[in-house]
Amino acid sequence: MAIIVQKFGGTSVANAEKIRRAAKRVTETKEKGFSVVVVASARGQQTDELIADALELHPNPPKREMDQLLSTGEQQTVSLFAMALDAMGYKAISFTGSQIRMMTDSVHTKARIISIDAGRIHRQLEQDKIVIVAGFQGIDENENITTLGRGGSDTTGVALAAALGAKLCEIYTDVDGIYTADPRIYKKAVKMKQISYDEMLELASLGAGVMHPRAIEFGKKYDVTIHVRSSSEDIEGTIITHEVPQMEGVVVTGATIQRDMAKISLIGVGNVPGNAAKVFAHLAKAKVVVHDIIQTEVSSEKANLTFMIGDSDLPSAKEAMEEIKDEVNCQSVFVREDIAEVSVVGVGMRSHYGVAEKMFGALAEAKVNIDSITTSEIRISCAVNENQADKALEAVCNAFELDRPANLRKK
Protein backbone atom coordinates (compact mmCIF):
# COMPACT_ATOMS: atom_id res chain seq x y z
CA MET A 1 0.00 0.00 0.00
CA ALA A 2 1.38 3.40 -0.95
CA ILE A 3 2.44 5.57 1.98
CA ILE A 4 1.59 9.26 2.37
CA VAL A 5 3.16 11.43 5.06
CA GLN A 6 0.91 14.24 6.36
CA LYS A 7 2.46 16.94 8.50
CA PHE A 8 0.31 19.23 10.66
CA GLY A 9 1.77 22.45 12.04
CA GLY A 10 1.08 23.97 15.45
CA THR A 11 -1.88 26.11 14.38
CA SER A 12 -3.51 23.04 12.78
CA VAL A 13 -3.49 21.10 16.09
CA ALA A 14 -3.90 24.02 18.51
CA ASN A 15 -6.93 22.57 20.36
CA ALA A 16 -9.17 19.50 20.56
CA GLU A 17 -11.43 20.67 17.76
CA LYS A 18 -8.52 21.29 15.41
CA ILE A 19 -6.91 17.97 16.28
CA ARG A 20 -10.20 16.26 15.42
CA ARG A 21 -10.37 18.12 12.13
CA ALA A 22 -6.78 17.13 11.27
CA ALA A 23 -7.54 13.53 12.28
CA LYS A 24 -10.52 13.54 9.95
CA ARG A 25 -8.21 14.58 7.09
CA VAL A 26 -6.02 11.63 7.93
CA THR A 27 -8.89 9.14 7.97
CA GLU A 28 -10.11 10.40 4.59
CA THR A 29 -6.71 9.66 3.12
CA LYS A 30 -6.67 6.28 4.85
CA GLU A 31 -10.10 5.46 3.38
CA LYS A 32 -8.71 6.18 -0.08
CA GLY A 33 -6.45 3.16 0.44
CA PHE A 34 -3.21 4.79 1.57
CA SER A 35 -1.05 3.97 4.56
CA VAL A 36 -0.77 7.23 6.47
CA VAL A 37 2.07 8.48 8.65
CA VAL A 38 1.31 11.72 10.48
CA VAL A 39 3.94 14.18 11.71
CA ALA A 40 2.70 16.74 14.24
CA SER A 41 4.10 19.88 15.82
CA ALA A 42 3.49 21.22 19.32
CA ARG A 43 0.05 22.69 19.90
CA GLY A 44 -0.37 26.39 19.11
CA GLN A 45 1.73 28.62 21.32
CA GLN A 46 3.00 25.84 23.53
CA THR A 47 6.63 25.99 22.49
CA ASP A 48 6.65 29.70 23.28
CA GLU A 49 5.11 29.02 26.69
CA LEU A 50 7.74 26.42 27.52
CA ILE A 51 10.49 28.83 26.46
CA ALA A 52 8.98 31.42 28.81
CA ASP A 53 8.96 28.84 31.64
CA ALA A 54 12.64 28.16 31.00
CA LEU A 55 13.61 31.84 30.89
CA GLU A 56 11.99 32.31 34.29
CA LEU A 57 14.66 29.99 35.68
CA HIS A 58 17.69 30.76 33.53
CA PRO A 59 18.61 33.75 31.35
CA ASN A 60 20.37 31.44 28.91
CA PRO A 61 19.19 27.87 29.51
CA PRO A 62 21.59 25.01 28.73
CA LYS A 63 20.70 23.83 25.23
CA ARG A 64 20.51 20.14 26.13
CA GLU A 65 17.90 20.86 28.79
CA MET A 66 16.05 23.20 26.44
CA ASP A 67 15.67 20.33 23.97
CA GLN A 68 14.60 17.98 26.75
CA LEU A 69 11.92 20.54 27.66
CA LEU A 70 10.67 21.59 24.22
CA SER A 71 10.37 18.05 22.86
CA THR A 72 7.48 17.44 25.28
CA GLY A 73 5.26 19.74 23.20
CA GLU A 74 5.22 17.43 20.18
CA GLN A 75 4.99 14.34 22.39
CA GLN A 76 1.74 15.69 23.84
CA THR A 77 0.30 16.40 20.41
CA VAL A 78 1.03 12.97 18.98
CA SER A 79 -0.54 11.07 21.88
CA LEU A 80 -3.64 13.31 21.73
CA PHE A 81 -3.76 12.81 17.96
CA ALA A 82 -3.68 9.03 18.42
CA MET A 83 -6.53 9.29 20.94
CA ALA A 84 -8.59 11.33 18.47
CA LEU A 85 -8.10 8.67 15.79
CA ASP A 86 -8.94 5.88 18.23
CA ALA A 87 -12.15 7.70 19.16
CA MET A 88 -13.07 7.73 15.45
CA GLY A 89 -12.59 3.97 15.30
CA TYR A 90 -9.15 3.85 13.69
CA LYS A 91 -6.14 1.98 15.04
CA ALA A 92 -3.37 4.45 15.79
CA ILE A 93 -0.02 4.58 17.60
CA SER A 94 2.15 7.57 18.45
CA PHE A 95 5.94 7.68 18.53
CA THR A 96 8.50 10.11 19.90
CA GLY A 97 11.72 10.78 18.02
CA SER A 98 13.45 8.42 20.42
CA GLN A 99 11.00 5.60 19.78
CA ILE A 100 11.65 5.53 16.03
CA ARG A 101 15.39 6.08 16.51
CA MET A 102 15.39 9.43 14.73
CA MET A 103 19.16 9.74 15.10
CA THR A 104 20.71 13.20 14.82
CA ASP A 105 24.03 14.84 15.53
CA SER A 106 24.49 16.40 18.98
CA VAL A 107 24.06 20.06 18.02
CA HIS A 108 21.26 20.83 20.46
CA THR A 109 18.48 23.16 19.22
CA LYS A 110 19.79 22.87 15.64
CA ALA A 111 20.44 19.16 15.17
CA ARG A 112 20.67 17.46 11.78
CA ILE A 113 19.05 14.12 11.01
CA ILE A 114 21.48 11.25 10.41
CA SER A 115 19.21 8.21 10.14
CA ILE A 116 15.72 6.89 10.92
CA ASP A 117 14.62 3.35 11.82
CA ALA A 118 11.81 2.94 9.30
CA GLY A 119 11.30 -0.67 10.41
CA ARG A 120 9.24 0.10 13.49
CA ILE A 121 6.90 2.31 11.48
CA HIS A 122 6.55 -0.22 8.65
CA ARG A 123 5.61 -2.92 11.17
CA GLN A 124 2.82 -0.75 12.55
CA LEU A 125 1.56 0.19 9.09
CA GLU A 126 1.41 -3.52 8.23
CA GLN A 127 -0.94 -3.94 11.18
CA ASP A 128 -3.20 -1.38 9.50
CA LYS A 129 -2.40 1.30 12.07
CA ILE A 130 -2.05 5.01 11.46
CA VAL A 131 1.34 6.09 12.82
CA ILE A 132 1.78 9.52 14.39
CA VAL A 133 5.35 10.76 14.82
CA ALA A 134 6.49 13.72 16.92
CA GLY A 135 8.07 16.29 14.64
CA PHE A 136 11.04 18.55 15.40
CA GLN A 137 12.86 16.05 17.65
CA GLY A 138 15.44 13.29 17.58
CA ILE A 139 18.09 11.73 19.78
CA ASP A 140 21.85 11.65 19.53
CA GLU A 141 24.03 8.58 19.98
CA ASN A 142 23.95 9.02 23.78
CA GLU A 143 20.13 9.11 23.94
CA ASN A 144 20.12 12.85 24.57
CA ILE A 145 17.02 14.44 23.08
CA THR A 146 17.79 16.93 20.31
CA THR A 147 15.59 19.32 18.33
CA LEU A 148 15.90 20.42 14.73
CA GLY A 149 15.20 24.12 15.24
CA ARG A 150 12.08 26.14 14.47
CA GLY A 151 10.12 24.68 11.59
CA GLY A 152 11.94 21.40 12.08
CA SER A 153 8.71 19.40 11.88
CA ASP A 154 8.68 20.06 8.13
CA THR A 155 12.07 18.43 7.97
CA THR A 156 10.86 15.47 10.05
CA GLY A 157 7.95 15.03 7.63
CA VAL A 158 10.01 15.05 4.46
CA ALA A 159 12.84 12.99 5.98
CA LEU A 160 10.34 10.37 7.14
CA ALA A 161 8.76 10.28 3.69
CA ALA A 162 12.24 9.66 2.27
CA ALA A 163 13.05 6.94 4.81
CA LEU A 164 9.71 5.17 4.29
CA GLY A 165 9.84 5.36 0.52
CA ALA A 166 6.77 7.62 0.41
CA LYS A 167 6.55 9.67 -2.74
CA LEU A 168 4.43 12.43 -1.22
CA CYS A 169 4.64 14.55 1.91
CA GLU A 170 1.68 16.86 2.52
CA ILE A 171 2.37 19.92 4.66
CA TYR A 172 -0.89 21.12 6.23
CA THR A 173 -0.65 24.70 7.38
CA ASP A 174 -2.65 27.88 7.96
CA VAL A 175 -1.98 29.20 4.44
CA ASP A 176 -3.35 27.41 1.41
CA GLY A 177 -0.18 27.30 -0.65
CA ILE A 178 2.81 29.28 -1.91
CA TYR A 179 2.00 32.64 -3.49
CA THR A 180 3.90 34.54 -6.17
CA ALA A 181 4.54 37.18 -3.48
CA ASP A 182 3.41 37.84 0.09
CA PRO A 183 -0.34 38.54 -0.32
CA ARG A 184 -0.29 40.82 2.74
CA ILE A 185 1.86 43.23 0.74
CA TYR A 186 1.04 42.47 -2.89
CA LYS A 187 -2.73 41.99 -2.76
CA LYS A 188 -2.92 40.68 -6.33
CA ALA A 189 -0.51 37.77 -5.67
CA VAL A 190 -1.75 34.39 -6.90
CA LYS A 191 -1.18 30.88 -5.62
CA MET A 192 1.30 28.78 -7.60
CA LYS A 193 0.28 25.34 -8.82
CA GLN A 194 3.86 24.18 -8.60
CA ILE A 195 7.39 25.37 -7.93
CA SER A 196 10.78 23.70 -8.18
CA TYR A 197 12.86 22.81 -5.12
CA ASP A 198 15.56 25.28 -6.16
CA GLU A 199 13.14 28.17 -6.53
CA MET A 200 11.50 27.33 -3.21
CA LEU A 201 14.92 27.17 -1.53
CA GLU A 202 15.77 30.64 -2.79
CA LEU A 203 12.41 32.04 -1.67
CA ALA A 204 12.63 30.33 1.73
CA SER A 205 16.12 31.67 2.39
CA LEU A 206 14.87 35.12 1.33
CA GLY A 207 12.32 35.12 4.09
CA ALA A 208 9.22 33.50 2.54
CA GLY A 209 8.33 31.73 5.80
CA VAL A 210 6.05 28.95 4.61
CA MET A 211 8.56 26.12 4.42
CA HIS A 212 11.74 25.21 6.27
CA PRO A 213 14.70 25.25 3.81
CA ARG A 214 16.16 21.97 5.16
CA ALA A 215 12.88 20.21 4.44
CA ILE A 216 13.10 21.36 0.84
CA GLU A 217 16.70 20.16 0.58
CA PHE A 218 15.60 16.72 1.83
CA GLY A 219 12.78 16.63 -0.70
CA LYS A 220 15.15 17.50 -3.51
CA LYS A 221 17.81 15.02 -2.42
CA TYR A 222 15.44 12.08 -1.85
CA ASP A 223 12.89 12.82 -4.55
CA VAL A 224 9.92 13.47 -2.24
CA THR A 225 7.15 15.60 -3.70
CA ILE A 226 5.96 18.19 -1.16
CA HIS A 227 2.39 19.48 -1.22
CA VAL A 228 1.85 22.64 0.85
CA ARG A 229 -1.88 23.01 1.53
CA SER A 230 -4.54 24.36 3.88
CA SER A 231 -5.55 22.42 6.97
CA SER A 232 -8.93 24.13 7.12
CA GLU A 233 -10.07 24.00 3.48
CA ASP A 234 -9.98 20.95 1.23
CA ILE A 235 -8.41 22.59 -1.83
CA GLU A 236 -5.25 21.93 -3.78
CA GLY A 237 -2.22 23.84 -2.56
CA THR A 238 1.23 24.17 -4.15
CA ILE A 239 3.37 21.25 -5.26
CA ILE A 240 7.13 21.54 -4.68
CA THR A 241 8.90 19.15 -6.99
CA HIS A 242 11.78 18.63 -9.39
CA GLU A 243 12.14 21.06 -12.23
CA VAL A 244 10.14 19.98 -15.26
CA PRO A 245 10.72 21.37 -18.76
CA GLN A 246 7.61 23.60 -18.78
CA MET A 247 8.92 25.42 -15.66
CA GLU A 248 11.66 26.88 -17.85
CA GLY A 249 9.02 28.77 -19.77
CA VAL A 250 8.22 30.80 -16.66
CA VAL A 251 10.81 33.53 -16.27
CA VAL A 252 9.97 34.65 -12.76
CA THR A 253 8.13 32.33 -10.39
CA GLY A 254 7.92 34.53 -7.33
CA ALA A 255 9.12 37.71 -5.68
CA THR A 256 9.95 38.50 -2.09
CA ILE A 257 11.07 41.23 0.27
CA GLN A 258 13.55 40.92 3.08
CA ARG A 259 13.25 43.85 5.49
CA ASP A 260 15.36 44.97 8.43
CA MET A 261 18.61 44.64 6.54
CA ALA A 262 21.71 46.79 6.86
CA LYS A 263 24.65 47.28 4.57
CA ILE A 264 28.26 47.78 5.56
CA SER A 265 30.79 48.95 3.00
CA LEU A 266 34.53 48.87 3.62
CA ILE A 267 35.93 51.57 1.32
CA GLY A 268 39.42 51.30 -0.10
CA VAL A 269 40.49 47.97 1.38
CA GLY A 270 43.98 46.85 0.43
CA ASN A 271 43.49 44.67 -2.66
CA VAL A 272 45.73 41.77 -1.59
CA PRO A 273 44.89 38.09 -1.14
CA GLY A 274 43.50 37.24 2.32
CA ASN A 275 41.92 40.54 3.26
CA ALA A 276 38.37 39.43 2.49
CA ALA A 277 38.97 36.21 4.38
CA LYS A 278 40.16 38.19 7.41
CA VAL A 279 37.04 40.36 7.36
CA PHE A 280 34.58 37.47 7.18
CA ALA A 281 36.46 35.33 9.71
CA HIS A 282 36.21 38.26 12.10
CA LEU A 283 32.48 38.60 11.43
CA ALA A 284 31.96 34.88 12.00
CA LYS A 285 33.77 35.16 15.33
CA ALA A 286 31.32 37.92 16.25
CA LYS A 287 28.46 35.54 15.27
CA VAL A 288 27.21 37.85 12.52
CA VAL A 289 25.24 36.14 9.74
CA VAL A 290 26.31 37.65 6.44
CA HIS A 291 23.90 37.72 3.49
CA ASP A 292 25.06 38.95 0.10
CA ILE A 293 28.66 40.00 -0.47
CA ILE A 294 29.80 42.38 -3.21
CA GLN A 295 33.44 43.16 -3.89
CA THR A 296 34.67 45.53 -6.58
CA GLU A 297 38.19 46.59 -7.44
CA VAL A 298 38.54 50.34 -7.54
CA SER A 299 42.21 50.39 -8.52
CA SER A 300 45.04 47.89 -8.71
CA GLU A 301 45.73 48.50 -4.99
CA LYS A 302 42.27 49.14 -3.59
CA ALA A 303 38.85 47.44 -3.52
CA ASN A 304 35.47 48.19 -1.95
CA LEU A 305 33.93 45.35 0.05
CA THR A 306 30.18 45.49 0.76
CA PHE A 307 27.95 43.02 2.60
CA MET A 308 24.39 42.80 3.85
CA ILE A 309 23.43 41.75 7.36
CA GLY A 310 20.31 41.73 9.50
CA ASP A 311 19.62 44.93 11.47
CA SER A 312 19.94 43.03 14.76
CA ASP A 313 23.53 42.07 13.96
CA LEU A 314 24.55 45.65 13.18
CA PRO A 315 26.08 46.63 16.57
CA SER A 316 28.37 43.60 16.71
CA ALA A 317 29.23 43.91 13.03
CA LYS A 318 30.17 47.57 13.40
CA GLU A 319 32.36 46.78 16.41
CA ALA A 320 34.03 43.94 14.53
CA MET A 321 34.78 46.25 11.58
CA GLU A 322 36.30 48.91 13.82
CA GLU A 323 38.62 46.24 15.22
CA ILE A 324 39.73 44.90 11.83
CA LYS A 325 39.73 47.94 9.56
CA ASP A 326 43.36 48.97 10.12
CA GLU A 327 44.60 45.44 9.63
CA VAL A 328 43.09 45.33 6.12
CA ASN A 329 44.12 48.94 5.34
CA CYS A 330 40.53 50.05 5.00
CA GLN A 331 40.17 53.81 4.43
CA SER A 332 36.65 54.15 5.82
CA VAL A 333 33.62 52.16 6.90
CA PHE A 334 30.23 53.16 5.50
CA VAL A 335 27.01 51.89 7.08
CA ARG A 336 23.41 52.05 5.78
CA GLU A 337 20.69 50.84 8.11
CA ASP A 338 17.46 51.41 6.23
CA ILE A 339 17.83 48.68 3.64
CA ALA A 340 15.37 46.15 2.28
CA GLU A 341 16.09 43.61 -0.43
CA VAL A 342 13.61 42.89 -3.22
CA SER A 343 14.25 39.65 -5.08
CA VAL A 344 12.78 37.77 -8.00
CA VAL A 345 13.31 34.02 -8.38
CA GLY A 346 12.78 31.67 -11.29
CA VAL A 347 14.55 28.77 -12.98
CA GLY A 348 13.50 30.31 -16.32
CA MET A 349 16.13 33.01 -15.80
CA ARG A 350 18.78 30.55 -16.83
CA SER A 351 17.50 30.55 -20.40
CA HIS A 352 15.91 33.99 -20.72
CA TYR A 353 17.58 37.33 -21.43
CA GLY A 354 16.39 40.66 -20.20
CA VAL A 355 15.17 39.72 -16.73
CA ALA A 356 17.51 42.10 -14.92
CA GLU A 357 16.75 44.86 -17.40
CA LYS A 358 12.99 44.44 -16.86
CA MET A 359 13.40 44.49 -13.09
CA PHE A 360 15.57 47.59 -13.06
CA GLY A 361 13.22 49.27 -15.50
CA ALA A 362 10.19 48.57 -13.31
CA LEU A 363 11.98 49.96 -10.26
CA ALA A 364 13.10 53.05 -12.17
CA GLU A 365 9.58 53.71 -13.41
CA ALA A 366 8.32 53.45 -9.80
CA LYS A 367 11.06 55.92 -8.80
CA VAL A 368 12.75 53.43 -6.52
CA ASN A 369 16.50 53.93 -6.30
CA ILE A 370 18.61 50.74 -6.38
CA ASP A 371 21.42 50.75 -3.84
CA SER A 372 23.14 47.56 -4.88
CA ILE A 373 22.49 44.45 -6.92
CA THR A 374 23.35 40.79 -6.40
CA THR A 375 22.39 37.76 -8.44
CA SER A 376 22.50 33.99 -8.41
CA GLU A 377 21.75 31.67 -11.29
CA ILE A 378 18.00 31.81 -10.59
CA ARG A 379 17.66 35.01 -8.56
CA ILE A 380 18.13 38.77 -8.84
CA SER A 381 18.13 40.89 -5.67
CA CYS A 382 18.10 44.67 -5.42
CA ALA A 383 18.79 46.53 -2.20
CA VAL A 384 16.41 49.50 -1.88
CA ASN A 385 15.48 52.06 0.71
CA GLU A 386 13.37 50.32 3.35
CA ASN A 387 10.49 52.80 3.12
CA GLN A 388 10.21 52.08 -0.61
CA ALA A 389 10.12 48.31 -0.13
CA ASP A 390 6.37 47.75 -0.65
CA LYS A 391 6.29 50.00 -3.68
CA ALA A 392 9.31 48.18 -5.11
CA LEU A 393 7.70 44.75 -4.65
CA GLU A 394 4.50 45.91 -6.28
CA ALA A 395 6.35 47.35 -9.27
CA VAL A 396 8.36 44.18 -9.77
CA CYS A 397 5.34 41.90 -9.35
CA ASN A 398 3.38 43.89 -11.92
CA ALA A 399 6.26 43.85 -14.37
CA PHE A 400 6.53 40.08 -14.20
CA GLU A 401 2.73 39.57 -14.16
CA LEU A 402 2.77 37.84 -10.78
CA ASP A 403 -0.90 38.72 -10.43
CA ARG A 404 -1.90 35.87 -12.73
CA PRO A 405 -1.15 32.14 -13.03
CA ALA A 406 2.06 31.27 -14.86
CA ASN A 407 0.27 29.82 -17.91
CA LEU A 408 -1.70 33.03 -18.47
CA ARG A 409 1.29 35.40 -18.57
CA LYS A 410 2.26 37.03 -21.81
CA LYS A 411 5.76 35.57 -21.67
**Smallest gap from residue 78 Cβ to a second copy (A):** 7
* Triad 397, 155, 47: Cα angle to 5°: 95
**Smallest gap from residue 212 Cβ to a second copy (A):** 24
Backbone angles phi, psi at 161, to 5 degrees: -55, -45
Beta bridge partners of 304: 296
Of the candidates 144, 205, 232, 316, which one interacts with a second copy according to CB under 8 A?
Answer: 144
Q: Which of 375, 384, 382, 390 is nearest to 359 (CA)?
A: 382
Q: Does 87 bind a second copy (CB under 8 A)?
A: yes
Q: Which of 96, 100, 92, 95 is nearest to 27 (CA)?
A: 92
Q: Does 372 bind a second copy (CB under 8 A)?
A: no
Separation between Cα atoms, residue 177 and residue 14, nearest integer Å:
20
Site for a second copy in 54-83 (CB under 8 A): 54, 56-59, 61-62, 64-66, 68-69, 71-72, 75-76, 78-80, 82-83
Q: Does 121 bind a second copy (CB under 8 A)?
A: no
Q: What H or E segment, with its residue span, contains residue 393?
A: helix 389-399
Task: Specify the DSSP class assigned to residue 369.
Answer: P
- Give 37 or 397: the residue with its C-beta nearer to a second copy: 37
Q: Which stretch binds a second copy (CB under 8 A): 15-23, 199-207, 315-323, 374-382?
A: 15-23
> Alpha helix (H) ranges present in 223-344?
275-285, 314-324
For residue 381, what are the CA distances in angstroms to 303, 372, 409?
22, 8, 22
Q: Does 84 bind a second copy (CB under 8 A)?
A: yes
Separation between Cα atoms, residue 308 and residue 374, nearest integer Å:
10
Q: Does 53 bind a second copy (CB under 8 A)?
A: yes
- Give 143 or 326: the residue with its C-beta nearer to a second copy: 143
The 90-119 site mask, x for binding a second copy (CB under 8 A), equals --xxx-x-xx--------------------
Q: Which stretch binds a second copy (CB under 8 A): 89-97, 237-245, 323-331, 342-350?
A: 89-97
Q: What H or E segment, with its residue span, contains residue 274?
A: none
- Give 143 or 377: the residue with its C-beta nearer to a second copy: 143
Number of residues that bind a second copy (CB under 8 A): 38
Edge-to-edge strand ranges of the sheet holding 137-139: 113-115, 103-104, 137-139, 145-147
Q: Does 131 bind a second copy (CB under 8 A)?
A: no
Q: Which of 101, 102, 96, 90 is nearest to 34 (CA)?
A: 90
Q: Which stretch binds a second copy (CB under 8 A): 139-147, 244-252, 286-294, 336-344?
A: 139-147
**Smallest gap from residue 93 Cβ to a second copy (A):** 7
Q: Are 37 and 166 in contact (CB under 8 A)?
A: yes
Q: Does 125 bind a second copy (CB under 8 A)?
A: no
Separation between Cα atoms, residue 121 and residue 132, nearest integer Å:
9
Q: Which residues bind a second copy (CB under 8 A)?
A: 16, 19-20, 50, 53-54, 56-59, 61-62, 64-66, 68-69, 71-72, 75-76, 78-80, 82-84, 86-87, 92-94, 96, 98-99, 143-145
